[in-house]
Amino acid sequence: MIAIHFEERKTCAHFFEKLTAYMNTFNPLGLGGLVENSNNQCITVKYENKDVDFYESFHPFLASLFANYVIETKEDKWLMKLAEELFYLSDDEEAAHVVSIAQAILKGDRQTTAVTEVFKERRAFLYDVFARHLDPNVTFYYEPFLTFRLKEYGELLIDCMEMALDEYLMEQDYQTMIETVRYYVQFTPVQRHLVHIVHDDLFTFYDDHFRKMTPDELDYYLKLEPHFQTQQDMSELIVSPLVNMLPNEVHVFSNEPDHNVILAIQAIFQERMRIFPLQQSKNE
């Protein structure tokens, strides 16, 4: 018999609810287990299927359930606690933003980090930790188990929060730079009536008569101040010369309106930028 003791009655009741729901689903398929809740303090689990080995059916089921439960109920709270107590993010909105970035990294939704796969495998890591300590007659205490057996998982969350904070600070720098360049464009006299940009894999500049601009022309504008410097080389190469051309209007032809470079141009030039389908550039 497996006995799982809980310090928090609420946690015990919640886990029991989830466990019984899964048991009711899988018992008809031959899982073969009996689960009982003792006063919201201890859950006992008995494996009753004599035909299938415990380690081939019930053991992976329980380990997986525990791993998912920790991620679902603890991960966000621990990330927020790290934000406030380890990284000293006292502003609630700022802390929530950094935590949301960390959550996206853990889910693999942000491809800006080279070690994203490490974070995506945290479920397998938790599964292994619980699997090593589950047997047909084990007794363990849930909260102390989390404290003393999941230290490596905690270190993984710290690494993730460090990356999230770095990305957050880069985002803040980027927004500050966008605002600075937008102010420059807004209050500096216009030098060109119109610039066309055609985005078809590459970005190609055309003047107001739709003449393709030469590399020497672009290089000249690229070397002028101010420089639009980002972590993305392409943004700098496209946005910097455009800003220094100081056009009254920017017409962009692209089938990817959400491309990072196009979004940057739009943030800077605002209503002075118009976007058209790529096909329409052939009519100019």
Query: What does the alpha-carbon distance between residue 27 and residue 20 come to, in Å, rounded to a whole number?
Result: 10
Candidates 125, 132, 275, 99; CA nearest to 196 is 275
The confidence score (pLDDT) of residue 56 equals 86
In the chain, domain spans: 2-174, 189-283
User: Cβ contacts of residue 162 below 8 Å, gap of 6+?
Assistant: none
pLDDT, averaged in runs of 10, over the chain (284 residues) = 95 95 79 86 88 85 94 96 95 95 87 63 92 92 94 92 93 90 94 96 95 94 76 73 95 95 95 96 80
Retrieve residue 194's tokens: 């119109």
184-221 burial code (b ≥16 CB/10 A, e <16) = bbeeeeeeeebbbbbbeeebbbbbeeeeebeeeebeeb
Q: What is the pLDDT of residues 119-129, one digit of tens each?
A: 778 899 999 99
User: Cβ contacts of residue 53 below 8 Å, gap of 6+?
Assistant: none
Q: What is the pLDDT of residues 218-266, one digit of tens each?
A: 999 988 877 766 655 567 789 999 999 999 999 999 999 999 999 999 9
